[in-house]
Structure 1
Amino acid sequence: MFYQLYEMNHAVMAPFRAAADAMRFFYANPLNPFSQTAMARTAAAGLEVFERVTRRYGKPVFGHSETTIDGKTVAVTEEIVWAKPFCNLLHFKRHVPPGRGQDQKILVVAPMSGHYATLLRGTVEALLPHADVYITDWIDARMVPLAEGRFDLDDYIDYLIEMLHVIGPGTHVIGVCQPSVPVLAAVAVMESQQDSMVPASMTLMGGPIDTRINPTAVNDLAQQKPLEWFRENVIMNVPWPQPGFMRRVYPGFLQLSGFMSMNLDRHLIAHKEFYEHLVKNDGESAEKHRDFYDEYLAVMDLTEEFYLQTVDTVFIKHSLPKGEMMHRHIPVDTSAIRNVALLTIEGENDDISGLGQTQAAQTICPNIPDDMRLHYMQPDVGHYGVFNGSRFRREIAPRIVAFTQKHARTPSRTTPFKRVIKGGKAG
């Protein structure tokens, strides 16, 4: 019922938003002789803030139309190379000159935690000059009809393995935040089954590998409540007329509310400053605010089964670091990982995944040779700064690129293909 009330609120507010937008256009229109007066700028600023805080934000676009390679600008086009009901594999195809050598292939696994994959727009942009980049473009669960079936953590891991097969041998995989656990699990499953498409390296960034270490407010909440509490309080039915009508989901707006409440004062100050920038006609600062919140406020729903299984496995039972995680009734044995280089990255001020939680992957993968592992802690950044922003571009991205280049794998180094898939059949 709460989801229906949320939808109704947006419907009720629609005419007010439209009126506010029209009035803002009137006050800000350069043809209006009073548009540059303090009164008009103040009115236009207030109306824009009202319209933006009551708006529903749709899925943003990546917008990568070009990049710079070897000092030259080349065109980039997006293409879907693999598709399933809950995810598309998006390839940023770079139109490089003929005869140029092939760069490393990198699969960026975007978080499925309420935001769209476009949250990693800056991550992709920093990697494009150096690598052939793919990304998991997860689909809003409320847009997937019930007839398409369910999607849980086991399906997530299967999706990753299928994508690595589509991209081909020698791929490097990067798990940003939430995907760190399924990425590590997928690699462990592939290694234990001697899969020839096992990635050359995996980079885990700000992920909850072991949330018993330096637990954050997010981790504490999961420990304080039983799984049934989450089922009864945050799982809702998708309302009509969405394509996923009646699908049980964890709504994105609830996740967003939780994130914003953790730093509510910061968001209130940001909107106050945005209003002041508009009044002062500081267009550059105002545009930076728009760009950030257009992305941050765009959210998607997660399926009930995926959300609850993730909460139970990662945050309540700590199954992966304890060696108790299962994938379709098969143990996830991280000690089986021997041929995949491991890079773990953390932010000093991360309030989502505490310091040490991602580094724990180094401990539970004891059989990776020392010369194939590396840990890096970036000073003075929070969770978002681990994968985006100036410090990411300047300090973190070059380390990722160097790590993938160091541990590049040629097809001759892969093992024979043998993988056991669901149902016990070999493929």
Structure 2
Amino acid sequence: MIYQAYQLLADLMSPLQAATDSAAASCTASSGLASRPQFAREWCALLEWSALVRLRHERPPFGIHAVRVDGGSVAVSEEVVLATPFCSLLHFRRDVAPGQPRVLLIAPLAGHFASLLRATAATMLADHDVYLTDWRNARDIPLSCGPFGFDDFVAQLIGLLRWLGPGTHVVAVCQPAVATLAAVALMSEDRDPALPRSMTLMAGPIDTRINPTRINALAVRTPLAWFEANLIDTVPTRFDGAMRRVYPGFMQVCAFLSMNLDRHIASLNHAYRYKLEDETAKAEAIRAFYTDYFATMDLPAEFYLETVDRVFQQHALPRGRLTVAGRHVDLSAIRHTALLTVEGENDDICAVGQTEAAQELCSKLQSNLKSHYVQTGVGHYGVFAGQRWATQVYPVLRKLIHETEQRCVEAARPVHG
């Protein structure tokens, strides 16, 4: 059993890793690395590199302590406002006057923690009241909490939107785009008062038949039984989720690493060189990314397998065959929620065209409520993190939300004859 073997190795390596972390922290606390002898600089850089390149299984802190609003610095605090067994609704509370648009940022449940969206949330906080889905590591969820499948994911999103109430805007990053679209369709059909005003789908696999990537091709040609037999394991007994069937996060991260191994090695080598040359800002940017990238979480087995089956093998949503809890998902029911789809030109996980497919599928949504944006020069993560996200993608998203807000305000004004 691969999970048990992995955990045994991790336990054996733990003392060495703790010592490496401590030594690396001492180097980090010291200033003026460039003034030290060559061997000392190389040793410190190697220690920090070694401490970085290892898997962790707890969510790193978001570390968003302040944000600039209207030219001034405003303190930010994190507050869990709603907790369920599989997800906590996290609110980034700011001491500002109410009135900015409320946004539910939906993080992927795909092997990484929600802190992968740190830059996304930090950027949006300047102009929005941001809530985020903080998914829990499945290995920490007792069996008594029951299973969690694709239908449960959709129900969770609907429940969060109802808790937040009318007037919320939704931003779904990557994997949850399909479930978000399904949730909005069901809420539209029900004329739910909590129906979101706008929906932004970023680099999400709406129709993976379009420009299929290596991941898409693998999913299509591999029987679902293979995924279950080779990628699903049970949580070791030492954890709260003992015996829960999961797709281990370390396997997902290893799969992602293998797709672009040369690029990751080059990036980590750059971090080593930057540290050696005392280029702190450049080294820190790479360190921050890999701190989140190597933080892995397990997925409930039923959710992982159902996602592979419905999204990547059956293509149930674009073929009009998706059902959630026995209900057919009819995307033509979406008529009032503004839609923005965003893609990255060089995305090798969710290729150009796959997210844009939502535009045509929402066939009854008026054209003035639809918009699409492709960011040039970025891959998957560049859509929601990094300089181009902050300076080019985000202004498009912000414009959609604020124009939608303005339309709602004008529609609510009384008409005088």
User: Same fold judged by TM-score > 0.5?
Assistant: yes
Tell me whether 1:105 sits opposite 2:99 in the alignment: no
1:128 to 1:52, Cα distance in 2 relative to 1, 3 A: closer
Partner of 1:325: 322
Q: 1:194 to 1:292 in 2, by over 3 A?
A: same
Counterpart of 2:65 in structure 1 is 65
For structure 1, list consecutive stretches of 5 or more residues without a partner in the other structure: 415-427
Is 1:277 the equivalent of 2:261?
A: no
Indicate the percent of aligned positions where both proteins have the same amino acid: 47
Tell me what 2:91 maps to: 91
Amino acid at match of 2:288: D
Change (3 A) 1:30 1:117: closer
Deviation digits for residues 103-136 of structure 1 (CA, Å, limit 9, x no counterpart): 1111111111111111111111111111111111
User: Following the alignment from structure 1 to structure 2, what is the Cα–Cα distance between the partners of residues 251 and 14?
Assistant: 19
1:280 shift after superposition: 2.9
Over residues 337-375 of structure 1, what are the superposed CA-to-partner deviations in whole Å (9 max), with x where a residue is unaligned?
111111111111111111100000011111001111111
Change (3 A) 1:369 1:4: same
- Aligned match of 1:423: none
What are the equivalent positions in structure 2 for 1:4-153 lying under 5 Å apart? Answer: 4-21=4-21, 36-54=36-54, 56=56, 58-97=58-97, 102-153=99-150
1:190 maps to which of 187, 190, 206: 187
The one-letter code of the counterpart of 1:130 is D
Residue of 198, 209, 216 corresponding to 1:212: 209
CA contact (8 A) 1:24 1:43 kept: no
CA distance in 2, matches of 1:392, 1:29: 31
Which stretch has the larger CA shift, 10-19 or 179-188?
10-19
Query: Measured at CA, do residues 406 and 24 of structure 1 come closer, stay the same or move farther in structure 2, by a change above 3 Å?
Result: closer
The secondary structure found in structure 2 opposite 1:322 is coil
1:403 and 1:38, CA in 2 relative to 1: closer, same or farther beyond 3 A?
Answer: same
- C-alpha distance in 1 between matches for 2:157 and 2:56: 30
Pair 1:407 & 2:404 matched: yes
CA 282–246 in structure 1, closer or farther in 2 if over 3 Å, else same: same
Residue of structure 1 in register with 2:344 after alignment: 347
Contact 1:170/1:411 (<8 A) preserved? no
Cα distance in 1 between the residues matched to 2:388 and 2:88? 29
Structure 1 residues 306, 394: CA separation in 2 closer, same or farther (over 3 Å shift)? Answer: same
Cα offset, 1:411, TM superposition: 9.2
- 1:29 and 1:359 map into 2 onto residues whose CA distance is 46
Residue in 1 aligned with 2:289? 292
Paired position in structure 1 for 2:415: none
> What is the root-mean-square deviation in Å for CA atoms of aligned residues?
2.3
Contact 1:172 1:201 in 2 (8 A): yes
Which digits, 9 at most, give the CA deviation of each residue in 1:233-257, with x for residues without a partner?
Answer: 0000001211101000001001100
**Does the CA-based 8 Å contact 1:67-1:74 persist in structure 2?**
yes
Query: Using the alignment, how far apart are the partners of 2:21 and 2:200 within structure 1?
Result: 44
Are 1:106 and 1:134, in contact at CA under 8 Å, matched by a contact in 2? yes
Measured at CA, do residues 406 and 146 of structure 1 come closer, stay the same or move farther in structure 2, by a change above 3 Å?
A: same
CA distance, structure 1, for counterparts of residue 60 and residue 369 of structure 2: 37
In 1, Cα distance between the equivalents of 2:136 and 2:348?
A: 26
Deviation of residue 170 (structure 1)? 1.4
2:392 is matched with which residue? 395
SS at match of 1:220: helix
Residues 55 and 317 (structure 1 numbering): CA distance in 2 closer, same or farther, change over 3 Å? closer
Relative distance call for 1:377 and 1:412 in structure 2 (3 A) is closer
Which residue matches 2:251?
254
Q: Distance in 2 between matches of 1:127 and 1:23?
A: 36
Instruction: Output the amino acid matched with 1:181.
Output: V
Change (3 A) 1:311 1:77: same
C-alpha distance in 2, partners of 1:55/1:362? 38
CA distance in 2, matches of 1:303, 1:263: 26
SS of 1:368's equivalent? coil
The equivalent position to 1:384 in structure 2, one of 373, 381, 384, is 381
Q: Distance in 2 between matches of 1:277 and 1:86?
A: 39
Report if aligned partners of 1:27, 1:43 keep a CA contact under 8 Å in 2: no
Q: Tell me, yes or no, if the aligned pair for 1:344 and 1:361 is still in contact at 8 Å.
A: yes
Asked whether 1:310 is paired with 2:334, we answer: no
Aligned to 2:356: 359
- How far residue 23 of structure 1 moved from its aligned partner, in angstroms, is 5.8
Deviation sequence 1:62-83 (CA, Å, 0-9, x none): 1222222222222222111211
Amino acid at match of 1:191: S
Shift of 1:191: 0.8
**How has the CA–CA distance of structure 1 residues 309 and 283 changed in structure 2, closer, same or farther, with 3 Å as cutoff?**
same
The answer to whether residue 266 in structure 2 is matched with residue 239 in structure 1 is: no
Contact 1:57 1:294 survives alignment (8 Å) = no
* Comparing 328-337 and 57-66, the one that deviates more: 57-66
Q: 1:109 touches 1:135 (CA, 8 Å); kept in 2?
A: yes
Task: Give the length in aligned residue pairs.
Answer: 411
Distance 1:302 1:24 in 2: 31
SS of equivalent to 2:385: coil
Does the CA-based 8 Å contact 1:256-1:299 persist in structure 2?
yes
